Amino acid sequence: MLLFSVPVWALNYLDEVEKVQCQYWKKLLKLPSSTPGYVIRLETGTSDTTYSIIKCTLRFILRLLEKDDNSFLCQCLKWQLRWAARIGSKSRSWGFALKNLLFDLAGDSTLDLPYVEIKKILPSRISKILERVNLALLNRDTERMAKSNWTPIYAKMKTHAVTEPYLQINLHLPVVQLISQLRVNIFRIIFKDAKIPLQNRSLCPWCNECEGNSDHYISECHCLSIHREKYLSNYVPTTNVSFVDLYNMHRNLPDFFKNIFYFFNDCYKTLEPYGCEPNGPGY
C-alpha cells in the first residue's frame, strides 16, 4: 500500500516515503528512532524506496508510450516533459522532478529527447537506468556510513553491502533484536525490561566499576564470568576480545547468536532491580 500510485504523487515525497520503511525496521529491531536511514538500509539490505518509486514511474511511462499519441494521457505526458525546463520547479512540475532525479542518480537525460525518440529508446534503456540508480543509492549510503560518527565500530563490522547473516538465519525475533542493538545502537540495549548502557555512556550495571559497552560485557566484566564460561567459552578465546572481532569470526553461525542471547538472558536475571537506566540521551 505504501507504493500505491507512486508514479503520480511520490516524486516530491521521496524522503517521507523512505522514513516509513525505516521506522518499520526501527520498531521491529528495537533501534532508536534517531538511527540514520542509511544504517538501517545497509544493515537490513533493503533498497531505498526511491529506487522502487523510479522503477514504478518508468514502467508507468512505458505503459503510456504504448497508447495512442493522441490519447489524453499521452498528451499529458508530452506536455509534462516538454514544459519541464520552462517551469523549473520540482514541486510544480512532475516532469521536471523526474528528469532531475534520473540525471542526478543515473546521469540519464533520455526524457529530454523528442517524444518520438523517447518511444524508441526508453524501453531498451530502463534496465541500465535502474542499475545505475540502485548503485548510486548504495554508494551514497556507503559513503555516509564511512563519514558518520553515529557508531565508531559499525564500519568495521559492515564489511559487505548486503543483508547481515543474522537477519537471514532462522532465529527468534528477540535474538535478532539483541544482535541488531549490539551492532547498531549507540545508547543502550533494551532487553526485556532492562536498559543496558552501551558506548561508555554509563557504568556497567553489574560491576559498577568500568564503563558499559558490548566488549566489557562479553569478554571483560568479572561479575559475568560464570555466564561467559557457560555460553561463550567456545567463542571468546581470551579476555579483551572485541565484539567486532567475535561477530566477524562467527557471523554465519546460528549457535553463536543464540548463545549471545542466552548469555545476556542469564546476566539479565542477576540485575537488581531489573531495568537499569543509563545516563545520557534516550530514545
- pLDDT for the residue numbered 193: 83
CB within 8 Å of 92: residues ≥ 6 apart? none
Task: Please list the residues that pair with 188 across neighbouring strands.
Answer: 197
Q: Read off φ and ψ for residue 274, nearest 5 degrees.
A: -65, 150
- pLDDT for the residue numbered 277: 47
- For residue 81, the 8-state DSSP code is H
Task: Please list the residues that pair with 190 across neighbouring strands.
Answer: 195
Length of the chain: 283
Q: Long-range contact list for 190-194, CB < 8 A, 24+ apart?
A: 190/30, 191/264, 191/265, 191/268, 192/268, 192/274, 193/274, 193/275, 194/268, 194/271, 194/274, 194/275, 194/276
- pLDDT for the residue numbered 281: 37
C-alpha grid cell for residue 238?
A: 581470551
Where does residue 107 fall: left (phi above 0), alpha (psi -120 to 50 degrees), or beta otherwise?
left
d(CA 105, CA 51): 10
d(CA 271, CA 204): 11
**Which residues in the chain show pLDDT less than 50?**
274-283
CA distances for 261 relative to 13, 179, 220, 231, angstroms: 39, 8, 17, 9
DSSP assignment of 159-173? -SSS--GGGTS---H
